[in-house]
Amino acid sequence: MTLTPVLSAHWDEADSYKIAGYMRNGGYTAFKKAFATGPDEIISLVKDSGLRGRGGAGFPTGLKWSFVPQGDDKPHYLVINADESEPGACKDIPLMMANPHALIEGVIIAAYAMRANHAFIYLRGEVPHVFRRVNSAIREAYAAGYLGKNIMGSGFDLEVVLHAGAGAYICGEETALLDSLEGRRGQPRLKPPFPAVAGLYASPSCVNNVETIANIPYIVNNGVDWFKSFGTEKSPGFKLFAVSGHVNRPGIYEAPLGITMRELLEHAGGVRDGHKVKFWLPGGSSVPMLTPDLLDTPLTYEDIAAAGSMLGTGTPMIFDETTSVVRAVTGWLAFYKHESCGKCTPCREGTWWLSDVLHRFEDGHGTEADLDKLIDICSQIAGRSFCALGDAAATPFPAALKYFRDEFVQATNAPANESFDPVAATVFAGATR
């Protein structure tokens, strides 16, 4: 399947992040078209396009917008989830660095459709240069009259505020994000009520991912049929696939949903020379790992689910045979332990136990009984936690055990770093870069 740069089509132009560069390539025409079309019609258009949220869950975007009640006389808020922090995910940050205006124009259209006069972009704090690029794009849009009061004489007002987070993976969970944006500890809220009814400041709100919203101007300009000419019926459109790990040319590859991992891997120059794929994760550490025999699976929500994983953020990580699965899983669990917000018991306690027991294996003295214990703990976390972080934490180990049980058994008497030389897995040991 061919590559189809849309969002990334002009990133090689030096001013791609500026309003001049964006407009030279057709930018800021879609929102005018949207204003002429009408808000309900835009929601219908996005529904008809079949666009699904690119933040990981894949929820239909137009449907999400339609949940925001209309005619209720309450302020509505659009909140952009720019808190990209999922291990393996690195597509929103490059998008905002190189093409922030696609996000801003998408924000204008989305806010107009759901009748929100205030939008917030919640950007993780650890990316000051992306903060500069997005804030500059907002200023340029205000100066051009595309943001502010009575935009282009439409009667529609929109204020956009860029807001820096401060280091908390949990704030990627939409209700935790809202609490954080309200100046509180970023802990998830009980649902219902859902944000569409009681979100930011207890008002109707919609939280959308960066890449999702950046798609909107292109859909408005080119139409539903064009958008659906990419991808599959259930997974229409294109995707910024960020391919990382042991590949020769890691990077951003924009392609239709439905491209296979093998095709994508070929575009990325293949697994590094002299090595072979051991396992891969389609979209972040929170989705189950898969094995090389599944490389021909199309990267769609439905096909990856049928293969036993999830598309997630659509940012595949590839690991070759030098990688210790035990070490990788232990590392990911250390991450979930670090990022658990502490609100609910299964996640707060369970991530610590998983991490502690996995460290025994990494150090070479786990026991076979510990493997059962780990599975038991995972089953106590999954589906019993307050939010999806707990489910995510319970994901890496069972998948790893399913495919690589031998390696965990080996780690009952040999440290991971003895079974797998950590130097061999680095990019600077016999590496291609």
Partner 1 sequence: MSLSESTRVQAREIISRYPQARSALLPMLHLVQAEEGYVSADGIALCAEELSLTTAEVAAVATFYTMYHRKPAGEYHVGVCINPGCGILGGDAIWEKLSSRLGIGHDEVTPDGKISLERIECQAACTHAPVMTANWEFLDNMTPESAIDVVEKLVSGKEVMSTRGPRIRTFKENELTLAGFDDGLVDEGVQADEQMLAGLKRAKELGQSAPGVKK
Contacts (CB under 8 A) with partner 1, residues 47-106 = 75, 84-90, 92-94, 97-98
319 binds partner 1 (CB under 8 A): yes
Q: Give residue 306's identity as a one-letter amino acid code.
A: A
Half-sphere exposure of 28 (CA within 13 A, CB side): 22
Only one of the segments 108-116, 145-153, 160-168, 287-295 lies at the binding site for partner 1 (rule: CB under 8 A); that segment is 160-168
Instruction: Tell me how many residues contact partner 1 (CB under 8 A).
Output: 102
Pairing of strands 118-123, 77-82: parallel
Partner residues linked to 121 by β-bridges = 80, 162
2 binds partner 1 (CB under 8 A): yes
Going along 300-352, which residue ranges are E strands?
317-320
- Closest to partner 1 by CB, 253 or 386: 253
- List all residues 6 or more positions away from 131 whose beta carbon is below 8 Å from its beta carbon: 123, 162, 164
Tokens (6 digits) for 91:
């597509």
Q: What part of residues 223-242 is at the interface with partner 1 (CB under 8 A)?
A: 226, 229-230, 238, 241-242
- Closest to partner 1 by CB, 66 or 292: 292
CB of 57 to partner 1, least distance (A): 18
Indicate the DSSP class of residue 309.
S
270 binds partner 1 (CB under 8 A): no
CB of 306 to partner 1, least distance (A): 25
184 binds partner 1 (CB under 8 A): yes
- Closest to partner 1 by CB, 173 or 339: 339
- List all residues 6 or more positions away from 331 whose beta carbon is below 8 Å from its beta carbon: none
CB of 63 to partner 1, least distance (A): 25
Binding partner 1 (rule: CB under 8 A), the pick from 52, 76, 267, 275 is 267
- Closest to partner 1 by CB, 66 or 106: 106
Q: What part of residues 8-47 is at the interface with partner 1 (CB under 8 A)?
A: 8-9, 11-17, 25-26
Binding partner 1 (rule: CB under 8 A), the pick from 141, 327, 366, 394 is 327
- List all residues 6 or more positions away from 132 whose beta carbon is below 8 Å from its beta carbon: none
The CA distances from residue 393 to 77, 115, 196, 299, 433, in Å, are 31, 37, 27, 23, 32
Only one of the segments 49-57, 155-163, 360-368, 401-409 lies at the binding site for partner 1 (rule: CB under 8 A); that segment is 155-163
Binding partner 1 (rule: CB under 8 A), the pick from 183, 192, 369, 406 is 183
Q: Give the per-residue contact string, 247-266, with partner 1 (x = CB under 8 A; - = no).
A: --xxxxxxx-----------
> What per-residue string of b and e applies to 34-55 under the rule 16 or more CB within 10 Å gives b?
bbebebeebbbbbbbbbbbbbb
* Residue (of 294, 311, 316) closest to 257 by Cα position: 311
CB of 351 to partner 1, least distance (A): 13
Q: What part of residues 342-371 is at the interface with partner 1 (CB under 8 A)?
A: none
CA 315 to chain centre: 8
Q: What part of residues 161-180 is at the interface with partner 1 (CB under 8 A)?
A: 161-169, 180
Whole-angstrom distance, CA of residue 380 vs CA of residue 394: 9
CB of 206 to partner 1, least distance (A): 16
The CA distances from residue 164 to 75, 85, 121, 171, 338, in Å, are 23, 13, 8, 11, 20
Q: In this structure, is the dihedral angle defined by the CA atoms of residues 240, 288, 50 and 230, taken in order, positive or negative?
A: positive
Q: Give the per-residue contact string, 194-213, with partner 1 (x = CB under 8 A; - = no).
A: -------x------------
Q: What part of residues 376-415 is at the interface with partner 1 (CB under 8 A)?
A: none
